Amino acid sequence: MRIFRRPDYNSDITQFISELKASKPDLEAQQRAGRALLWDKHVSREAWDEFRAAQVRQKPYVYQTDTQ
């Protein structure tokens, strides 16, 4: 235990986020709803397998110009 303990440092950004969360308690729920709307999608495994099978392998040296 230190006698002369400094107060914990909070950056301006951390203070801003803390104040924002305090003023808008439903902000995290809105963020999760937005994420579910845009990113959380059901992936069809059959379509993913077809996509993988249709990919063309890249050459080891992509700037090579000979056409052998």
pLDDT of the residue at 3: 78
Q: Helix crossing, 27-38 with 12-23: angle to 10°?
A: 90
Q: 11-54 pLDDT, tens per residue?
A: 999 999 999 999 999 999 999 999 988 888 888 999 999 999 99
CA–CA gap between residue 63 and residue 65 (Å, rounded) = 6
pLDDT of the residue at 46: 94
Predicted structure pTM score: 0.49
Higher pLDDT, 58 or 22: 22
Nearest to residue 43, comparing CAs of 33, 56, 52, 34?
52
Q: Residue written as tokens 């994420």?
A: 35
Q: What is the DSSP letter of 3?
A: S
